[in-house]
Structure 1
Amino acid sequence: MKKSLPGPHKQCLARSLAKKIGFSQILQSLQKTLQLDDLQRCKKWLIKHQPSAPQGNALRRLDTLASMAGALIKGGQASLQSIGKHMDDDIDLESRVKKAKRWLKNKWTDSAVHFIPYLSPMLRSVSNSGELVLAIDGSSIGKGCMALMVSLIWRRRAIPICWIVRQAPKGHFPQQMHLDIVNQVAMLLDTIIECPCQVILLGDAEFDGNELQQACLSHGWDYVLKTGKDALLADNPQMLDACPFCHIAPADGKNSLFLPQMYVTKQAFGPVNVLYWHDKTRYERPLYLLTSLEYGPQAEAYYRKRYHIETFFGDIKSRGFHIEDTRISQPDMLSNLLIVASLAFIACILFEFDARRSPHLGKFCRKDRAADLSVFQIGLRAIRYYIRKGLAISFQFSKNFP
């Protein structure tokens, strides 16, 4: 099992970078570097945003990261063979594959160095709105492994922040892992976010544990979490006359019921607000939600955003990079592969700003269908088209973010 964030001794790196790097600087650097017909420029961008000029092995690792991210965008396959095939290094294919594999296995490959510096300006920019909406979910990746991930919800897409990979073909993660990843994200946000900001965590029924709810409250977060129909609730901490959620229902003609200051489970966790919501136009079955928010419709509206994290898994899987098909089975290597996939994903959604307004739009997608395509798909198609035609990839939209 590998966690995507290191120990506290490396938090100073993220804090330093958050102060030094502005979002507009990132975009200006991307304008000069993400012309993927020359992937060495990407390396210069990666180097630029390190706290000090890397040398030796550290420099070589950034070089490999740039090459792998570009290869993943160009090839669309997360297998080592495909990544090696599309890397720009002027060496034999077998040597390129081995180079990518060494990077994934290297003990010095670390998200604090190779991912957080490029994520932090986005987090700071979005936080200026006064709100960060996070979603937690798990999905299978690679051969016999699962990834637990917390992502930022933005423009109907989920931007990965932190993840933990473990060896397990399917099933739920232990609650301790839920706590671990939430605490890691809270630690990261504390080092990056500079202004007061409401944080809301969204999750399905796997994440309705009492300890996770308490962790959210301890960090000053709000939350909206789905729970099961058989979970117990009562209006008193002694759990007298407790009943399962499936026994509650709104008055005739209503599709919702909001119950404030309730207690749930045999451990009588609370007080917590409870929402029954059954909008038959959206949900086949009623939703039973636990929330710290005080207004039922607001809680349901936030919960709907949870589904956007599933679009991220779809984007790095069947709709984009096919990370589920790689034969890699080691959690550490898969965690590092997620660094590459996440950077490639972010590059695509950033380039969508420029691509949607490009005079070449009709060359890589039907204009009458462009509104139906996701931010990621337009960005991905555009980058691949620009690469094929040798066009300059530029960013001129920082004022539009977020």
Structure 2
Amino acid sequence: MSDNLKRYCAIKKALISLRPTEPKGNQARHINTLAMIVAGVIGSQKCHLPAIAKKVPSDAKPQNRVRKMERFMDNDAIDCKKYYLPYADTLIRNLPPGPLVLIMDGSEVGRDCVMLSLNVVYKKRALPLCWIVVKGKKGHLPQDTHIELLEQAAKIIPQQRRVIFLGDGEFDGTKLLETLQSQGWDYVCRTAKNVVLTEDAQRFSPQDLILERGERLELPDVGFTAKEYGPVLVSIVWEPSWDEPLILVSNLDFLEEAYHFYQRRFRIETFFSDQKSRGFYLGHSHISNTSHLHRLLIGLCLAYLWIVCMGAWVVQTGRVALIHRTDRCDWSLFHLGLNWIEHCLNEGLPLRTRFPRSERRRKCVG
């Protein structure tokens, strides 16, 4: 059995086993094509269809394989609700107990398109739950788009789990914050130094306050923006090495807690870099159709989940030394997963097809 066929069979088995029901008819055919895309993406580490097609086991000519994937991407019946959220739901249910830390951010993908993604933090990675692709350059998207993405994720988040939402300065709109509050979720978002705050009927902004490097200031129970939304907590943190202070708005009670969680926000950058320059080169794609990109991302994100969960399993079961140095681990879960897949194919070992279900302590760069 060829490496391409082994990889494809393992992924197809995983996709079928994690679905709530056995796929049949058109759905089964779509799962087969999706497995082709995921396997081809992992094998080629590219998002271009011709490169993916070369790593797909099939008797058909490469161009015919490309056309099959193009039909998948052009099919309006293919959406995240049917072909991604069931796997994201499985992921959420198998994460360790404790707060779910969600991060929302955007990045340019394809040609003149932006991907707005909502990810859950797992170790030092941010795993994709859902996303929206729109035309345009990277910049602030409307709050309604943020809320639309939030509502997609809310459908698979257990009500009993505590959720902390993190976002940069794009996500400090009061309409979004009100939606998060009504959802029962905590939030910590960056905001501007000139934002209007209200305390005891007096209006001011963070830039009016005298603060020096190394200092922190907590402003509880203030009104936020000219609308006086709140009361909220506004925290100002100025680390000695920074050129300017960090200003956060939150519905948490204390600055230390808000700042502690916000430091995890940057983990979503690892997701975008793994999808682009350090992984699948999504930034080099010339696809400009937002629907086509959205469906291609189903395959890319499933590939990412499988690889990271594979890497986590390698760490949890003490197999790092089989593929990496023994004195320390300086590979991310993403690169551990990729190298373990390569190791299994080289050594004729079976490929694991399940998400991790247990946690064991072992230090590793995630």
**TM-score, with structure 1 as normaliser:** 0.83
Give the superposition deviation at 1:398.
Answer: 2.8
1:221 aligns with 2:185: yes
CA contact 1:137–1:309 (8 Å) conserved in 2? yes
Partner of 1:25: none
Bigger mean CA offset, 376-385 vs 286-295 = 376-385
Aligned length: 358
1:146 aligns with 2:107: no
Encode CA deviations 1:294-329: one digit per residue, 9 max, x unaligned.
011110010000000111111111111111111111
1:178 aligns with 2:146: yes
1:247 aligns with 2:235: no
Give me the whole-angstrom Cα distance separating, in 2, the residues matched to 1:120 and 1:75: 27
1:261 aligns with 2:221: yes
Give me the whole-angstrom Cα distance separating, in 1, the residues matched to 2:312 and 2:173: 39
Give the superposition deviation at 1:356.
Answer: 4.0
Encode CA deviations 1:353-383: one digit per residue, 9 max, x unaligned.
3434789756754445x52221111111221
The 3 A distance-change label for structure 1 pair 43 and 230 is same
Partner of 2:364: none
Partner of 1:383: 341
Give the superposition deviation at 1:119.
Answer: 1.9
CA contact 2:131–2:149 (8 Å) conserved in 1? yes
Partner of 1:116: 85
* Counterpart among 119, 132, 135 of residue 164 in structure 1: 132
The 3 A distance-change label for structure 1 pair 227 and 53 is same
**CA RMSD, aligned part only?**
2.4
1:276 aligns with 2:236: yes
Partner of 1:56: 25
Alignment of structure 1 residues 1-400 onto 2, 5 Å = 37-126=6-95, 129-189=97-157, 193=158, 196-236=160-200, 240-250=201-211, 255-281=215-241, 283-356=242-315, 361=320, 364-368=323-327, 371-394=329-352, 398-400=357-359
Give me the whole-angstrom Cα distance separating, in 2, the residues matched to 1:328 and 1:253: 45
Partner of 1:3: none
SS of the equivalent of 2:221 reads strand
- Consecutive unaligned residues in structure 1, runs of 5 or more: 1-33
The structure with higher relative contact order (CA 8 Å, sep 6+) is 1
CA contact 2:213–2:239 (8 Å) conserved in 1? no
The 3 A distance-change label for structure 1 pair 36 and 119 is farther
Give the superposition deviation at 1:231.
Answer: 1.1
Give me the whole-angstrom Cα distance separating, in 2, the residues matched to 1:328 and 1:286: 39
Give the superposition deviation at 1:385.
Answer: 3.1
CA contact 1:349–1:379 (8 Å) conserved in 2? yes
Give me the whole-angstrom Cα distance separating, in 2, the residues matched to 1:138 and 1:284: 24
Amino acid at match of 2:169: A
The 3 A distance-change label for structure 1 pair 359 and 311 is closer
Give the superposition deviation at 1:40.
Answer: 3.0
Give me the whole-angstrom Cα distance separating, in 2, the residues matched to 1:36 and 1:260: 58
Give me the whole-angstrom Cα distance separating, in 2, the residues matched to 1:139 and 1:146: 6
SS of the equivalent of 1:380 reads helix
Amino acid at match of 1:350: C
CA contact 2:233–2:254 (8 Å) conserved in 1? no
The 3 A distance-change label for structure 1 pair 394 and 181 is closer
**TM-score, with structure 2 as normaliser:** 0.90
Encode CA deviations 1:240-298: one digit per residue, 9 max, x unaligned.
54222212245x786110011101212221211110111224x4421000000001111
Bigger mean CA offset, 358-367 vs 376-385 = 358-367
CA contact 1:35–1:41 (8 Å) conserved in 2? no
Amino acid at match of 1:330: N
Give me the whole-angstrom Cα distance separating, in 2, the residues matched to 1:286 and 1:140: 27
The 3 A distance-change label for structure 1 pair 73 and 292 is same
The 3 A distance-change label for structure 1 pair 130 and 358 is closer
Encode CA deviations 1:148-197: one digit per residue, 9 max, x unaligned.
111101101101111110011322211211121112222332xxx2x622
Give the superposition deviation at 1:38.
Answer: 4.8
Q: When you count helix as a share of all residues, which structure comes out higher?
A: 1
Amino acid at match of 1:243: F
Report % sequence identity.
32
The 3 A distance-change label for structure 1 pair 211 and 401 is farther
Give me the whole-angstrom Cα distance separating, in 2, the residues matched to 1:314 and 1:36: 28
CA contact 1:73–1:384 (8 Å) conserved in 2? no
Bigger mean CA offset, 376-385 vs 134-143 = 376-385
The 3 A distance-change label for structure 1 pair 36 and 214 is farther
SS of the equivalent of 1:378 reads helix
Give me the whole-angstrom Cα distance separating, in 1, the residues matched to 2:317 and 2:91: 23
Give me the whole-angstrom Cα distance separating, in 2, the residues matched to 1:399 and 1:264: 42
CA contact 1:140–1:324 (8 Å) conserved in 2? yes
